[in-house]
Amino acid sequence: MSETIKRAHNFNAGPAGLPLEVMLQAQSELLDYKGTGMSIIEMSHRSKEFEAMINEAEADMRELLNIPANYKVMFMQGGASLQFAMVPMNLRPAGASADYIVTGVWSKKAVQEAQKLGPVHVAADLKASNYNAAPENLDLDPNAAYLYYCSNETIHGVEFFQEPVAPAGVPLICDTSSDFMSRPLDVSKYAYLYAGAQKNVGPAGVVIGILREDMLERVPANLPVMLDYKVQADEKSLYNTPPCFSIYMVGLVMKWIKKMGGLAGIEARNTAKANLIYNAIDNSGGFYKGHAQPAARSRMNVTFRLPSEELEDTFAKEAKKLNMIGLKGHRSVGGLRASIYNAVELSDLEVLVGFMKEFQQKNG
């Protein structure tokens, strides 16, 4: 039956495409999960089947990312956006200031939330260059509660390939929502990192948080339970009903990443995909212009412009007719954006790049 299903060339920014193999497995297990006669979304989150599933998802993630034993893995709700508030609530002691690097929309939103709850110091803000690079210079507070940054700005298409270096003793915190598990990552450099699943590793509804245990000492005693990392960690993400289906899907994606050669294999695949489209942009004689400076070009979200907004509109519309979906840039930045997360195939990029050449010939 699957051969007759027409799948889109899915360049959506999030929620985004998932591997076909993963979707087919979810479909095949939807009515009867491992002989239980129930779906994974119809059973107790306290059942032994569910517990085995969530434990395996975590174990596979730990293996793939080589997560050290002194880190907790949490599956939470509220999206990455709730983390903007939970990070300062849990990890910035009362009265202390936290450092933030602002490289685009998402780190800016994190600052705005953190500011509502206490002092923030902006270590860099790349607004003047319309968020097209990672910062070269940081104004760092050696006494900051932590240094926060976003490793991939999904809307501007700017990625850090080297994490910022925090002053000695200042914990590093990262929103890695849109490049999580797209390449190897040295978890031991971070005190906390988190990612919403719906870009690279699953459907919306679950956020993965990876927290170094000593940071739990900072968590104040009086937080509402659902906003408390200590509760989430102590209860192994099962304080209340977790987003069962989303966690299950993340587990399937972990198995798929393993089959793809782990994070090194995924990175090689993602690099090849990104090179294909950036080369097309660079070889277009200026017809296509990349937004991000070459050193900071995201391998996940490729942002680019055409000579006019009208052409950008036409491009997105004609592409859509050819089943290429999601190419219009975010409303706050404009232009075009191809999100090419883990599940996007090289063949999808080949179709897109072929179309880019044709479009230029017709309109250039």
Ligand X SMILES: *Cc1c(COP(=O)(O)O)cnc(C)c1O
What is the spatial distance between Cα 205 and Cα 359, in angstroms, rounded to a whole number? 37
DSSP 171: P
Query: From the candidates 72, 199, 230, 273, which is the catalytic residue?
Result: 199
Least distance (Å) between residue 359 CB and ligand X: 27
What are the tokens at 29? 């297990």
Nearer to ligand X, 280 or 300 (CB): 300
Identify whether 48 is a catalytic site residue: no
Nearer to ligand X, 83 or 284 (CB): 83
- What DSSP string describes 228-283? -HHHHHHTTT-SS---HHHHHHHHHHHHHHHHTTHHHHHHHHHHHHHHHHHHHHHT
- Cβ-proximal residue to ligand X, closest one: 79
Least distance (Å) between residue 16 CB and ligand X: 10
Least distance (Å) between residue 152 CB and ligand X: 6
What is the spatial distance between Cα 57 and Cα 250, in angstroms, rounded to a whole number? 7
Task: State whether residue 71 is helix, strand or coil.
Answer: strand
Nearer to ligand X, 155 or 280 (CB): 155
What is the spatial distance between Cα 235 and Cα 255, in angstroms, rounded to a whole number? 25
Nearer to ligand X, 19 or 205 (CB): 205
Least distance (Å) between residue 106 CB and ligand X: 4
| Opening angle at CA 267, ends 53 and 190, nearest 5 | 70
Query: From the candidates 60, 72, 99, 106, which is the catalytic residue?
Result: 106
What is the spatial distance between Cα 109 and Cα 112, in angstroms, rounded to a whole number? 5
Q: How many Cβ atoms are within 10 Å of 168's Cβ, its own excluded?
A: 6
Positions touching ligand X (CB under 6 A) are 14, 79-81, 106, 150, 154, 175, 177-178, 196, 199
What is the spatial distance between Cα 206 and Cα 310, in angstroms, rounded to a whole number? 37
Nearer to ligand X, 199 or 305 (CB): 199
Least distance (Å) between residue 334 CB and ligand X: 18
Burial degree of 310 (CB within 10 A; 0-12, 13-18, 19+): exposed
Nearer to ligand X, 177 or 284 (CB): 177
Identify whether 106 is a catalytic site residue: yes
Least distance (Å) between residue 178 CB and ligand X: 4
Q: Which of 72, 100, 99, 68 is nearest to 219 (CA)?
A: 72
Catalytic residues: 106, 175, 199
